[in-house]
Amino acid sequence: MLRIALLPGDGIGPEVIEEAKNVLAAAADRFSIQWQSETLDLGADRYLRTGDTLPQADFDHLRDDFDAIVVGAFGDPRVPTNIHAKDILLGLRQRLDLYVNLRPVRLLDTRFCPLKDRGPADIDMAIVRENTESVYTGIGGHLRKDTPHEVAQSIMISTRMACDRLLHYAFQLAGQRRKIVTLCDKANAIPHAHGLWRRSLAAVAPQYPDIEARTLYSDVAAMRMVTHPQEFDVVVGDNLMGDMLSDLAAALVGGLGLAPSASLHPGSAALYEPVHGSAPDIVGTGKANPLAAIMSVAMLLRDFGHTAAANAVDAACENAVMSGSTTPDLGGNLATAEVGAYICAQVAAA
């Protein structure tokens, strides 16, 4: 029994999760997958109602009672500090030790590529972002806050353990792909925290002799992703480098509307979410593109061994894109629920 926690969250989150859930149901039906889901009330509404962000009881429930978590989006203009999003999303990444953030980026159609003369053969990469360290831990503080002499500090950390485990994941993934790992860092300017990544790479890479290990400074990587995207297969970066490069890479294939992701602790915990945010400006208009959430569900199905179901969902998303059966952001004129229904019908007939 596949037990899935649904965290629709804020803004368009509930709208895209509704379609992701429908697609899961369609795939489960077609491919005889036993599953159950529970929707958890976590997000801005609950925070404004009760002051709760991610209470211990909800965290324990998420950790103990589910195989996978599917997240919509967090972020609400009524909570300008975004404290709930930070506690829930960054909190789950930390507390479940979801150290891999996997963001596959594949160009489905030339139409969606802002680069001249590039097609699907040129852009197929997987961003493997470290998801628990760098400047994301919250370590830091202020001195003399709100005075002209204020000092603000956000500390970047890298641990050898975290570099090693992420690189092992990246090399194993590259073994199933084009066999190139490119570590992107700023070891030239950040010699301690990012120098450690290079030393970790030097130790891990020889254990995978059939995989080519490359290094690039992240600024150069940003440039080459635009000028030579075909050079990238598995792209590794720390939390901050991976955050930026994954948005850049997503822009090469049509933007965040087509960007799924997984935050993983292989073997123990998994969270799937579209990379996009809560888009409060289009809530309730039917314009929210559910494809990134649905493609995230395909990643979930694949990770749990339901390969045929995952392939069917991915193929259906590709058909939606190729046939223009999409929301307006991708050039179509369907509403969120109509895109979901299109995918469900395709999966049912697969």
Amino acid at residue number 294: I
CA–CA distance, 309 with 24 (Å, rounded to integer): 9
Catalytic, out of 29, 60, 219, 281? 219
Residue (4 or 249) nearer to Mg ion, CB: 249
Contact range with Mg ion by CB under 5 A, out of 19-27, 77-85, 200-208, 242-250: 242-250
CA–CA distance, 1 with 255 (Å, rounded to integer): 34
What is the DSSP-derived secondary structure letter of residue 112?
G
Give the nearest distance from C-beta 156 to Mg ion in angstroms.
Answer: 17
Give the nearest distance from C-beta 252 to Mg ion in angstroms.
Answer: 15
Per CB under 5 A, does 273 bind Mg ion?
A: no
Q: Virtual CA dihedral for 194, 198, 240, 254, nearest 10 degrees?
A: 150
- Counting every residue written for the chain, the total comes to 350
Residue (185 or 243) nearer to Mg ion, CB: 243
Site residues for Mg ion, window 164-223 (CB under 5 A)? none
Catalytic, out of 243, 303, 314, 329? 243
Instruction: For residue 211, give the H/E element and its range.
Output: none
Amino acid at residue number 56: Q
Q: Which residues does residue 124 pair with via DSSP β-bridges, in sequence order?
A: 106
Catalytic, out of 87, 186, 303, 329? 186
Give the nearest distance from C-beta 205 to Mg ion in angstroms.
Answer: 27
Residue (98 or 201) nearer to Mg ion, CB: 98
Give the nearest distance from C-beta 171 to Mg ion in angstroms.
Answer: 24
Contact range with Mg ion by CB under 5 A, out of 19-27, 67-75, 228-236, 243-251: 243-251
Contact range with Mg ion by CB under 5 A, out of 52-60, 82-90, 241-249, 260-268: 241-249
Phi first, then psi, for residue 326 (nearest 5°) are: -135, 175
186 assigned to active site: yes
Give the nearest distance from C-beta 247 to Mg ion in angstroms.
Answer: 5
For the record, the structure tokens of 32 come out as: 């005889």
Residue (23 or 90) nearer to Mg ion, CB: 90
Per CB under 5 A, does 238 bind Mg ion?
A: no
Which residue spans within 11-51 are E strands per DSSP?
A: 35-39
Per CB under 5 A, does 243 bind Mg ion?
A: yes
Residue (243 or 314) nearer to Mg ion, CB: 243
What is the DSSP-derived secondary structure letter of residue 122?
T
- Residues 292 and 258: beta-carbon distance below 8 Å: yes
The helix/strand/coil state of 292 is helix
Residue number of the CB atom closest to Mg ion: 243
Give the nearest distance from C-beta 291 to Mg ion in angstroms.
Answer: 18
Amino acid at residue number 97: D
247 assigned to active site: yes
Contact range with Mg ion by CB under 5 A, out of 30-38, 169-177, 236-244, 283-291: 236-244
Residue (156 or 347) nearer to Mg ion, CB: 156
Instruction: For residue 83, give the H/E element and its range.
Output: helix 83-85
Catalytic, out of 136, 169, 208, 272? 136
What is the DSSP-derived secondary structure letter of residue 187?
T
CA–CA distance, 336 with 321 (Å, rounded to integer): 13
Phi first, then psi, for residue 273 (nearest 5°) are: -155, 145
Catalytic positions, written as ranges: 136, 186, 219, 243, 247
Q: Give contact residues for Mg ion (rule: CB under 5 A).
A: 243
